[in-house]
Amino acid sequence: MLGLDWGNRKKTYDYIIIGSGYGGAIFAARLASANLSPKPAICLLERGREWPVGTFPDQVNSVLAARRIDTNPLGLYEFLDYQDISVIKGSGLGGTSLVNANVAIIPDAEVFQLANWPRTITRDILMPYYDRARQALGANPHPRAMQLAKVQAMDRRAQEIDRHAYPLNIVVNFSVNGKNAYGVEQKPCTDCGDCITGCNVGAKNTLYMNYLPMARNAGTEIYTQTKVEWIEKLAGGGWRVHGVHVADTFDEEEFTIDTRNVVLSAGAINSPEILLRSEMHRLSVSPALGTGFSGNGDFFGLAYNGAFITNVLGYGLKSPQAGDALPPGPTIVSAISYNGNVPVEDRFTVEDLSFPSAYILGAKAAFALLRGEDTVTGNEAAQQQRALNDADLLHPYRPDGALNHTMLYLVMGHDDARGTMVFDAPWYEPDGRMKIQWDGVGSQIIFTRINEELRRHARALQSSFIANPLWDIFKARHLVTAHPLGGCPLGEDYLHGAVDEFGRVFAGDGSVHDGLFVCDGSLIPSALNVNPFLTISALSERIVEKNIQAQQGVAYPQPNKSVSLSTINPIDASEYSVEGLFP
């Protein structure tokens, strides 16, 4: 276990890092590993619990019981429903890395040329940090990707448009059987398909397998079940963190801890919320705080009950039996990029998905009811037989069922990143909740184009097409995202961003706060057209490197409008070196 007993915490630290996702884990690992004397006292706070390998839910009932709701604040899966968009994310030590789909991909260079981005950040500038993160996370393609049935199904549509489905780099272990480079026991991937409910094999390279043990081994104190609510700037310098420690569902303890520096890395929902709550307590912030929210252009669709076996049924720890469908491979293995000679705003990426084992029975029932839109005629009898085969509850992994002839797609495009985060009442009132305002986002033309292309995918597989029901049926043009971004967007000055390129938080007068940083997906000021965690990781590697260099004496540049000469509270370091820290 990486977490420590809450009773052992100190009263003060040099750094408090809030959140253990890609930003927080990377910041803690790199800073704690720096050759600094005296060594900074670093505390990482995570609101969720620790989920060791083998403890992830893998049944319908256990998955439902692990939802994070008000009466279950330690749940793993969080579903947030706002008026125009819903958000799916994880909560636990390691953040959403515990339940994401592993895809490590770099956006097109043109993404960083969008007006939302500071001119000082380009893909070329970030490439060394992308490489650093890919190495630490163990990104590599599936060694047998093109042999998987779902990849071959992807390629059927790709070949119609002179493209190919290509294997993606994913952060999954296919070789190590024993201790990895961070001293953590791992096993090779079994192709079980349960990545997004949590890997019980120990093959998924979550942050629990790399950056977090690196941070802990280097002296970072990690405390779980600890939710930060707001931060206070102290008159004499430094910060006070206010929050609640949850011993169990009905046992909460309010706390405060003082620190010289705060790093907000609680994600694109929680970091803006903490700063907005802090603003209510008179923290000066940029008018751009809470703006620039994006769902990363996420969109979903299905090609249901087609003519071709896809092997998309997750097994988890179950052993396939004779006559069962073959294991699917990791949740996502391949993609088709629609990024030719078109403006960056019109580009998108289509990826394959598998159904985790806990979702299979529910998916069979739901999609049989929805049925979808026929894309070809003359195959009704075969489709009806496959649907009947899926009703065989004694043999859920029949290869001849409708769900094993289905493709589930995740698509990422470019929304306009104009969501705004606000409170509908003061935070201290019982109904005081943050909400996201984004009128008409689901009606943006990019989603209609994506929907039409997914219909063509379904036709290529002789399938029925089922659009995202929330978008198409139940809530007209309502979107769902697994990749929330923005809310503390990067900007060249305080009028165009909540933070600068180094993660320093702007005050309302254009200066930057001493010792207050943001380091997570809330920084990203636009959709990326691809899975975002590698970009979050690259930005985080750059931010912590600059932070360490500032401790070494290499000053930050002045913000465009600044009254602050120092932007990091010193730790009285007499000796400091980053030599050998960054491979």
Q: Average pLDDT in the 108-127 region?
A: 97
Residues of the chain with pLDDT > 70: what percent? 94
| pLDDT higher than threshold 90 for residue 549 | yes
Alpha helices for 311-444 (secondary structure H): 360-370, 380-390
Q: In what order do the strands lie in the sheet with 348-353?
A: 166-167, 334-338, 348-353, 407-412, 298-304, 464-467, 373-374
**Residue 474 pLDDT level (bands cut at 50, 70, 90):** low
- What local confidence, expressed as pLDDT, does residue 471 receive? 83
Q: Average pLDDT in the 335-346 region?
A: 94
pTM: 0.94
Residue entry with tokens 């930057």: 512
- What local confidence, expressed as pLDDT, does residue 475 receive? 57
Alpha helices for 310-438 (secondary structure H): 360-370, 380-390
Give the pLDDT confidence of 303-339 residue by residue, as tens digits.
Answer: 999 999 999 999 999 988 888 999 999 999 999 999 9
* Beta carbons of 301 and 454 less than 8 angstroms apart: yes
CB atoms under 10 Å from CB of 429, counted, come to 10
* Measured CA distances, 164 to 33, 77, 78, 150, 350 (Å): 42, 34, 34, 13, 11
